[in-house]
């Protein structure tokens, strides 16, 4: 099962290695990891997408909580949540394919950020699934480069993760 873990941690040098090191040392998966400081600069927020059985996710959560730098851990997939990922994708856009590419980007509510006579750079935001769907919708041959941030997530409604 895919889980999205949100972690609040002290914004200390080494906090990222402690967290990522825990995953590699204990053989847990990291599908994606994203981190940045919060509105309180002494605190960082991580979003980690991982997969595992309920037992493994329980262990991951407990082990994360045990890290001294970690303040709070929440499994967003336990409740309603919003998930977004940003992708920049550079595609070949020349000749007759050029219009088609623009139309496709529009369908996925993508924005063209940079244009040359041979290429578009498209910005796309959505769930990771939606980004996958866009990449599948275009011919693999036209993709020149992709870069993705990994998922960020937040609970819906009143659900708040803070100290």
Applying CB under 8 A, which residues contact another protein? 9-10, 13-14, 17-18, 21, 25, 55, 58-59, 62-63, 65-66, 68-71, 163
67 forms beta bridges with none
Closest Cα partner for 126 from 111, 140, 138? 111
**Minimal distance, residue 11 CB to another protein, in Å:** 11
**Minimal distance, residue 2 CB to another protein, in Å:** 22
75 forms beta bridges with 5
Q: Is there a contact between 67 and 142 (Cβ–Cβ < 8 Å)?
A: no
Minimum CB distance to another protein smaller for 59 or for 127: 59
**Minimal distance, residue 68 CB to another protein, in Å:** 4
Minimum CB distance to another protein smaller for 72 or for 92: 72
Minimum CB distance to another protein smaller for 66 or for 156: 66
Q: What is the end-to-end Cα distance of the chain in Å, rounded?
A: 28
Rounded to whole angstroms, what are the CA distances from 19 to 13, 39, 65, 162?
Answer: 12, 21, 10, 19
**Minimal distance, residue 64 CB to another protein, in Å:** 9
């Amino acid at each position: 099962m895919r889980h999205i873990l949100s972690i609040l941690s002290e914004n200390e040098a080494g906090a990222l290695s402690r967290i990522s090191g825990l995953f590699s040392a204990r053989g847990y998966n990291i599908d994606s990891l994203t981190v940045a400081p919060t509105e309180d600069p002494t605190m960082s927020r991580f979003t980690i997408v991982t997969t595992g059985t309920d037992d493994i996710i329980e262990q991951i959560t407990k082990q994360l909580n045990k890290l001294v730098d970690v303040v709070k851990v929440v499994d967003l997939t336990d409740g309603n949540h919003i998930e977004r990922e940003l992708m920049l994708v550079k595609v070949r856009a020349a000749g007759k394919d050029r219009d088609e590419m623009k139309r496709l980007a529009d369908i996925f509510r993508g924005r063209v950020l940079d244009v040359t006579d041979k290429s578009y750079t498209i910005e796309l935001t959505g769930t990771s699934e939606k980004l996958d769907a866009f990449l599948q919708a275009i011919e693999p041959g036209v993709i020149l480069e992709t870069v993705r941030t990994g998922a960020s997530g937040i609970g819906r409604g009143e659900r708040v993760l803070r100290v």
